[in-house]
Structure 1
């Protein structure tokens, strides 16, 4: 007879004890939850004066309250508390919690204090803006998984990733209890990477955002207030992004003008600065041609305050700058920015949420894209072949701007050309966005949570 290995037996007993403790801990959490108000943590790009993130957050808070009731306790962590308070009012059951730039310990602590974690940033699984943001979401998922706390990626996107980040997404995102993507393209990207978590495809939460009716005439009021030529023939909007600021990288030190928030710095160099200046010149030339050929005014729309330097540079290079005005998220809230977007005759955008928030009107639009997000949306709208131009594939050359100008001329001459596609697309995406709430409800019911009927 073989003699049992006492060390193996001890290891097995220790493992059983650990598993029992985890099971007991999870059971106690469920019991405590049933006896108290649930606590929900919303982790995203909160407080950045970003119109899209603002629209998403407001809509998601409404979703959570619709499913779990008005008394649900919501916590929103942020790197910029002051900005977040501009559009989120702290209440007894809604807390804003500042976290440091080195976020690992703070997020881990917050996760353990909550019953449910939602990743609410649209640009969740991509490193276009910065790897640090991606790592924050993956770290949050890892902490939730380790603590047996349910975690949902709520109406998110997937995009460009380095080989290292693909590996990390495959490993950590697979630990998510449910991933809801806002486009089919995003869902396919995650599956192709090898993410094994359950994935559902719906639409962006911002589609359910509703502006205040009082903000509908804001663009006309601004033109009058600033003594600008009255835009009697309406306005063409440019939602611009400086592609050459990104990604934000981690450095122990750098130039103060390039610092986003220590230790994060914009990817600045002489070469990048030159390309940024060339980008401004291209936008300025397009604006002047539209003013000269069609008699339109130009609204430079900064969906994030970081877009303002590029917009100022564009106006500085325009020959007809008196016919242009900057509208920025630093000055206007999401309701007002949505009113501006929906009052346009034509939108030419590099910003995903400018496309989303203008769609209800529906405003004819053209995309000058620098990552896959607009590609996914335009593909579902059925307008990607004619009206989406990938700035990277065109090598930022004159050819892309010639094509954009041609399509702008076409849509200004025949604004109803894609009207039906935009209307149908908005209707479908609105239904998809409303499905997010239903998926959240079903997810919680399966786990024995009490939800509103």
Structure 2
């Protein structure tokens, strides 16, 4: 069903069938009204960051184009997406296959506007296939003369081949809005000549549900020791050794993400994952024993659960730990969990972003440019960012982390001013995303909400 702004003299829910045919097949829209928008991203992955971004961007689109705009959301996992997105007459969930090229081209052809909404847009950290999906979407939109905007996205490290593809295809994007200045600089250095603006991540405007306040305390079903306080240290973990996902015709079932995509696994990587779990377990036990805190392992994506479980299994004090996962809690609940810890150690970008509103003291252990870019903009990169990739072979990395945690737990207000300033600035920048979207469309002569 298609809903468009109503016009006198036009039937069929306000859609002129001839005009519809012309829009969908030729990429032309003579009356300059955007009726259909596609949001292309990492949708349906039980990933809290992607959920908060998508919900916030849907709100932005409706604020700019009106409540009747028809939104299409492609996904590889329809069931997961339906957990937090409700389909209705103005919102369509569109399942696509793992080999996505034809399906994406067909969907793009039907749109009036395409937004690339995945934060990790121009990077191959997770998998080249994801990057190719976004570049292919851009290419298709360009071929149909449909405006395409990368909406508050990031740029990261790329292989030589993928740098070539980004430079060749991203130039066809009508506008690229990056969520950090670091990402904008990276694209410019790659030779991307499309118009680029930098703001902040869309998740900064995400609103939680009132009933989800203090979710962490309501679900803290552990036997706390008399030796510990009620304080909670959140640790948002990620198994760096699973990535990137690679394309293979076959592989071990336990390594399958979704055919033909498999996690990168080898004896060396498996040992590295076990060592990572052991090191995190030792640090969690040290925090419990030294600072009398409890530990919340926060799985921002369902894929983080195996590592979190391995960590708890290796702990001396597992009763003082609890796992909170996006497979169990929705985006609003996960956000409230993040905002109700007393201290955060994060390897997840959106754990850092979503906790900032509560001014939670935090330290990052990053493995790609996303946290680096955020912490650089927050002016926290020199003192509170540990680069796991460059330091992982050094025995000092865990000593570095322990010392930083001790210092910040003893003086939690040490980075408060930077976090407070950073949140205020990033929230204001995030609100500019919809302003920039509206200004861009108006400049191109499109009809938008006043």
Distance 1:31 1:229 in 2: 69
Distance 2:258 2:267 in 1: 21
Alignment match of 1:403 (pick from 400, 404, 417): 400
1:437 paired residue number = 434
Residues 223 and 319 in structure 2, CA contact (< 8 A), matched pair in contact too: no
Q: Deviations over 1:255-286 (max 9, x none)?
A: 01000000000000000000011111111111
1:95 paired residue number = 92
List runs of 5+ in structure 2 lacking aligned partners: 1-21
Q: Deviations over 1:72-94 (max 9, x none)?
A: 00000000000000000001010
Residues 100 and 106 in structure 1, CA contact (< 8 A), matched pair in contact too: yes
Q: Root-mean-square deviation (CA), in Å?
A: 1.6
Residues 222 and 320 in structure 2, CA contact (< 8 A), matched pair in contact too: no
Query: In structure 2, do the counterparts of structure 1 residues 150 and 209 end up closer, same or farther at CA, with 3 Å as the change threshold?
Result: same
Query: In structure 2, do the counterparts of structure 1 residues 221 and 232 end up closer, same or farther at CA, with 3 Å as the change threshold?
Result: farther
Query: In structure 2, do the counterparts of structure 1 residues 396 and 279 end up closer, same or farther at CA, with 3 Å as the change threshold?
Result: farther
Residues 238 and 347 in structure 1, CA contact (< 8 A), matched pair in contact too: yes
* 2:29 corresponds to 1:30: yes
Residues 280 and 314 in structure 1, CA contact (< 8 A), matched pair in contact too: yes
Residues 27 and 145 in structure 2, CA contact (< 8 A), matched pair in contact too: no
Alignment match of 2:289 (pick from 287, 292, 309): 292
The Cα shift of 1:153 comes to: 0.3
Alignment match of 2:145 (pick from 129, 144, 148): 148
Residues 375 and 384 in structure 1, CA contact (< 8 A), matched pair in contact too: yes
Q: Deviations over 1:278-335 (max 9, x none)?
A: 1111111110000000000000000000000000000011111110000000000111
Alignment match of 2:81 (pick from 81, 84, 88): 84
Distance 1:28 1:145 in 2: 9
TM-score of the pair, normalised by structure 1: 0.92
- 1:211-222 equivalences under 5 Å are 211-222=208-219
Q: Deviations over 1:227-275 (max 9, x none)?
A: 5559743100110000000000000000010000000000000000000
Query: In structure 2, do the counterparts of structure 1 residues 114 and 229 end up closer, same or farther at CA, with 3 Å as the change threshold?
Result: farther
Residues 251 and 264 in structure 1, CA contact (< 8 A), matched pair in contact too: yes
Aligned length: 428
The Cα shift of 1:215 comes to: 1.5
Distance 2:399 2:156 in 1: 27
2:9 paired residue number = none
* 2:130 corresponds to 1:118: no
After TM superposition, what 4+ stretches of structure 1 lie above 3 angstroms from structure 2?
23-28, 225-233
Alignment match of 2:326 (pick from 314, 325, 329): 329
Query: In structure 2, do the counterparts of structure 1 residues 226 and 165 end up closer, same or farther at CA, with 3 Å as the change threshold?
Result: same
2:275 paired residue number = 278
Residues 26 and 148 in structure 1, CA contact (< 8 A), matched pair in contact too: no
Residues 119 and 153 in structure 2, CA contact (< 8 A), matched pair in contact too: yes
- SS in structure 2 of the partner of residue 301 of structure 1: strand
TM-score of the pair, normalised by structure 2: 0.93
- 1:245-324 equivalences under 5 Å are 245-324=242-321
- 1:37-52 equivalences under 5 Å are 38-52=35-49
Distance 1:86 1:451 in 2: 30
Distance 1:373 1:95 in 2: 30
- SS in structure 1 of the partner of residue 80 of structure 2: helix
- SS in structure 2 of the partner of residue 59 of structure 1: helix
1:11 paired residue number = none
Distance 1:240 1:24 in 2: 45
The Cα shift of 1:28 comes to: 7.5
Residues 363 and 384 in structure 2, CA contact (< 8 A), matched pair in contact too: yes
Distance 1:39 1:229 in 2: 56
The Cα shift of 1:216 comes to: 1.9
2:410 paired residue number = 413
2:18 paired residue number = none
Residues 33 and 115 in structure 1, CA contact (< 8 A), matched pair in contact too: no
Query: In structure 2, do the counterparts of structure 1 residues 182 and 351 end up closer, same or farther at CA, with 3 Å as the change threshold?
Result: same
1:345 paired residue number = 342
- 1:48-59 equivalences under 5 Å are 48-59=45-56
Distance 1:248 1:392 in 2: 18
Query: In structure 2, do the counterparts of structure 1 residues 229 and 450 end up closer, same or farther at CA, with 3 Å as the change threshold?
Result: farther
